[in-house]
Amino acid sequence: MSRKQDSSLPRVTVIGAGSWGTTFGKILADGGAHVTMWARRPELANEINEGKRNSGYLPGINLPREMYATHHLSDALEGAEQVYLSVPSQSLRENLKAVRALVGETDAPIISLMKGVERRTGLRMSQVIEQELQCDPARIAVASGPNLALEIAREQPTAAVISSTSRETADAVARRARNKYFRTFVNTDVIGTEFGGVLKNLIAVAIGIVDGVGYGENTKASIITRGLVEMTDFAVAQGADPETLQGLAGLGDLIATCQSPLSRNNTAGRLLGQGYSFQDVVKQMQQTAEGLASVAPVLQLAREVGVEMPIVEQVKRVLDGTMDPREIAPHLTTDDDKPKGERTQNGQAGSGGALWRSLQRTLDQFRNSGRRTSRD
């Protein structure tokens, strides 16, 4: 099916036809758009066009008839009203060099679907996009939340956050990226939304490690709870709103990623916990686990602003091969033996009420089904 046959539908493009890119293409098509996917491999583009399948990434999923694919970037971007980027974070800059000339003369919003930081520079994906495309940051948006691709492709109800420094851009993207099973909220806290998606990957790797070792629910609950503190402290130090980390882009994504076997980062951690080396894990993973590449740059950023991240530090030691995975648990939730207050929200001590409020807020967002859009 060609674009010409669907000229009455809004045209959007998704760059990257992996599991998440294809799933988001399905979200957009099911929401009423004509979607063109850019696939690096011609045979994958052909499978999407002819079979309406992406069997390598989304086995068993039928794709909408409004989805079309090409391996020619210029064809994919022709006439696009919105452009969604879903490529590995470490190759984003290289991909954008080819995109720049094709979108430079338009005002189409550019939306990041990626959850990583650039290893060399420590930049968030929206910052890389702004640099490489040399465009107004108000034109850039990011999507985040508890978004396990296969579950959404199966049309299981899910919520997400669209964030942009421009509320107008966030609203426009959110209106396009929603359908009967996928709801979108909006905010203007791009820093918090992006770092929530990055940092939860690191905690998910830790959860996978202790799961692979064979530790139980107490250990994992402790890591998730303390991990949320690390995430919040780090993001706030970078300029984020702490409430963002208590919403779908933080706590919501953290819960989903840590507890699901569909999570790439959880799977990578579990292999590490079972004794595989970092190199062996990379070889076994068929898809990119963004958390593995983000550990070092996140820790560097944390040191620059004086934030302690003991969980992430221990994950790095396991990745480096300097710590036995079985020794990780005693060190995960504190960095020394001195008793400390339980900081539950942005560095404040408390009795756990803040965490409960975070959980309650996330549940309320699902119940309200998008009626409250002033925050995520």
Backbone angles phi, psi at 299, to 5 degrees: -65, -35
Residue whose tokens read 């402290």? 233
**CA–CA separation, 122 and 134 (whole Å):** 18
Rounded to 5°, the CA angle 327-333-339 comes to: 115
**CA–CA separation, 71 and 50 (whole Å):** 14
The verdict on whether 200 is a catalytic residue reads: yes
Q: Are 376 and 163 in contact (CB under 8 A)?
A: yes
Backbone angles phi, psi at 185, to 5 degrees: -110, 170
**CA–CA separation, 17 and 24 (whole Å):** 9
Q: Which one of the listed residues 26, 115, 200, 220 is annotated catalytic? A: 200
What 3-state DSSP class applies to 343?
A: strand
Rounded to 5°, the CA angle 42-44-50 comes to: 100
Residue whose tokens read 């990041």? 112
Distance of CA 91 to the CA centre of its chain: 15
Helices (H) and strands (E) in the chain, counts: 17, 10
Question: Is residue 183 within a helix (H) or strand (E), and if so which, with residue range?
Answer: strand 182-187
**Which residue in 11, 267, 24 sits closest to 145, CA to CA?**
24
**Which residue in 118, 17, 25 sits closest to 65, CA to CA?**
25
Rounded to 5°, the CA angle 341-343-344 comes to: 140
- Concatenated DSSP letters for 21-45? HHHHHHHHHHTT-EEEEE-SSHHHH
Residues with catalytic function: 200
